[in-house]
């Protein structure tokens, strides 16, 4: 059984079946590999074993990066951790002003989270 959840922009509360919603937002935690990228959620679909994330990343910086991935952290209300998965963007090299596409599953063992936070990491192109 699939329940479709529509998300727009980097921060969005979206509705699904039975009035449950998922908020998709940039993570407040940072790493040494965080990139000057934005992520825009185009569609979020709750499936029987997880949440499918479809969206775009945009390089807002002045350098080209390779192996760009979006790490999604899913949680329930109150901050209870549910799952964390990373999905690589295509193409594998994204230049300034360019976009990459994300399509993958955050495996949640059937739990529909209340919030999914994201951050974008990768490596400088050589």
pLDDT per residue over 20-49, tens digit each? 788 999 999 888 889 999 999 999 988 889
Element of type H or E holding 43? strand 37-47
Share of the chain above pLDDT 70, in %: 84
Cβ proximity of 26 and 12 under 8 Å: no
Rounded to 5 degrees, what are φ and ψ at 52? -85, 130
> In this predicted structure, what is the pLDDT of residue 33?
86
Cβ proximity of 5 and 86 under 8 Å: no
CA 46 to CA 107: how far, in whole Å? 10
The residue-averaged pLDDT of 7-20 equals: 47
Which of the two residues, 1 and 35, has the higher pLDDT score?
A: 35
Q: Is the pLDDT of residue 18 over 70?
A: no
CATH code that applies to domain 3-124: 2.60.40
């Amino acid at each position: 059984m699939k329940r479709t959840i529509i998300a727009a922009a980097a921060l969005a509360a979206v509705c699904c079946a039975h009035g449950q919603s998922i908020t998709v937002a940039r993570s407040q935690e940072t790493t040494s590999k965080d990139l000057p990228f934005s992520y825009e959620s185009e569609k979020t679909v709750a499936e029987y074993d997880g949440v499918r994330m479809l969206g775009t990343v945009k390089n807002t910086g002045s350098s080209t990066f390779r192996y760009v991935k979006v790490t999604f952290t899913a949680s329930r209300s109150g901050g209870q951790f549910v799952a964390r998965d990373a999905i690589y963007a295509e193409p594998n090299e994204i230049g300034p002003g360019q976009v990459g596409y994300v399509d993958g599953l955050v495996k949640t063992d059937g739990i529909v989270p209340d919030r999914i936070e994201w951050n974008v990491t990768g490596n400088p192109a050589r």
